[in-house]
Amino acid sequence: MENTERLRVFELYSGIGGMHYALKESLVPAEVVAAVDVNTTANLIYKHNFPTTQLLPKTIEGMTLQDFDRLNFDMILMSPPCQPFTRIGLQGDVADPRTKSFLYILDLLPRLSKRPRFILLENVKGFESSAARDALLQTLRECDYSFQEFLISPTSLGIPNSRLRYFLIAKRAPETFSFPVSTEIIEGFPMSESTDGLSVPYDHPTSSASEREKTIMFKLETEEDLERKRKQNSQESVRRLLDFLQEEEEDMEPYLLPPKTLLRYALVMDIVQPSSRRSVCFTKGYGHYVEGTGSVLQSCMDVDLETVFKNLDQLSEEDKLKQLLRLKLRYFTPREISRLMGFPDHFTFPKHISFKQQYRVLGNSLNVHVVSHLIRLMLSK
């Protein structure tokens, strides 16, 4: 790590403060001189956890070049809106109005009186094939930055949660990186940068449409689906989910899946157990929608999952529900999800923030541990 003075950091699209927590975890001598976000709920949560940080509740394009210059920052941390690039969205890219603020930043960067020494950006997988990314790389080259792109999932750090994301770290010349820079996007961390030498590849869903036509075992899963999950659960470099769960004496009744949800979505839910070393990405719809928004936890381990699902489709609705209720399936709590995403336990929500809002802002956030590693990597020589 460089011996350096305290770095002045500008946090753009600050959300609930994931970048700020990552900066703290990295132990880099730095302070967030300002954070900016337009989301009212996220800003309330940010202010609740970082009451002394200057938080600007406005659009980025509402800030002038002079406003940027006045902050005199050394580092930008940013996570621009991902909706224009997500695979399940419309992929409007630079034509999407939500990309406007990001293009504004790229327009300002060459004109700043003092360009930042370091830049870190996070976005969804899909950003790497966008015109917005092309514009970013072109601007960085014109402004004399060296940079490296990554695709990283928290599984690379032994965390049992798939959240594959695009990252870019950039350093202004003449500073250079501590590892060989590649024009290719690196999957995972450079070997020396993973915890205890871990370099777990991110999770590739292996079952294609043609494979899905093969033998269905149970729960609408193919042999390939089950084999992939078995493989993930046998990855001993990844921790078990039980390390992240709340104490059993906590009241979990509010998190149990209601009968209507069980009957409607049982066959498409991703079910994990406390001993599992995997869970699927939690999205902003978690707790509200079931399919594709995150895993649910089997909290009664005296019941065999496969036995419950084996002949489920042949049962009456009443008997089907009896079977499913035996598993005591529940949602992960916001605290458990925030732990999987690397937020410390002293991160809390203001009392009036509903569960739905908590899940929503967590689904829009990032993995703190991954970003913390990247900050250290960006500043190391």
**What's the confidence (pLDDT) of residue 214?**
41
pTM for the whole thing? 0.89
**What's the confidence (pLDDT) of residue 245?**
97
Per-residue confidence band for 192, with pLDDT thresholds at 50, 70 and 90? low
Query: What gap in Å lies between CA 114 and CA 116, rounded to an integer?
Result: 6
pLDDT above 60: residue 210: no
- Contacts by 135-141 with C-beta closer than 8 Å and gap 24+? 135/94, 135/103, 135/106, 136/106, 136/168, 139/106, 139/109, 139/110, 140/170
The residue ranking higher by pLDDT, 42 or 218, is 42
Min mean pLDDT across 86-100, 152-166, 279-293 is at 86-100
Burial 122-147 (b: 16+ CB within 10 A, else e): bbbbbbbebebbebbeebbeebebbb
pLDDT above 50: residue 194: no
**pLDDT (mean) for 219-233:** 79
Query: What gap in Å lies between CA 49 and CA 109, rounded to an integer?
Result: 29
**What's the confidence (pLDDT) of residue 250?**
76
- Average per-residue pLDDT in the chain? 88
CB distance 254 to 359 below 8 Å: no
Catalytic residue at 82?
Answer: yes
pLDDT above 80: residue 90: no
The residue ranking higher by pLDDT, 330 or 92, is 330
For residue 266, give the nearest of 332, 326, 210 by alpha carbon: 326
**What's the confidence (pLDDT) of residue 234?**
81
**What's the confidence (pLDDT) of residue 202?**
42
CB distance 105 to 78 below 8 Å: yes
Instruction: Give SS3 for 171.
Output: strand
CB distance 127 to 166 below 8 Å: yes
**pLDDT (mean) for 323-330:** 96
CB distance 359 to 288 below 8 Å: yes
Burial 158-184 (b: 16+ CB within 10 A, else e): bbbbbbbbbbbbbbbeeeebeeeeeee
Task: For the chain, give percent helix, strand, coil, nearest 5.
Answer: 40, 15, 45
Q: Which tens digits make up the pLDDT trace of 302-313?
A: 999 989 998 888
**What's the confidence (pLDDT) of residue 82?**
58
Q: Tell me the CATH number of domain 7-200+365-379, given options 2.60.98.20, 3.40.50.150, 2.60.40.1080, 3.30.565.10.
A: 3.40.50.150
Annotation: CATH topology of 209-362: DNA Methylase; Chain A, domain 2 (3.90.120)
**What's the confidence (pLDDT) of residue 289?**
87
Query: What gap in Å lies between CA 41 and CA 59, rounded to an integer?
Result: 15
**What's the confidence (pLDDT) of residue 247?**
84
Query: What gap in Å lies between CA 282 and CA 341, rounded to an integer?
Result: 9
**Active-site position among 82, 143, 281, 300:** 82
For residue 340, give the nearest of 285, 282, 273 by alpha carbon: 282
Provide the residue type at 121 as one letter.
Answer: L
**What's the confidence (pLDDT) of residue 241?**
97
For residue 279, give the nearest of 365, 349, 212, 339 by alpha carbon: 339
Domain edges within the chain:
7-200+365-379, 209-362
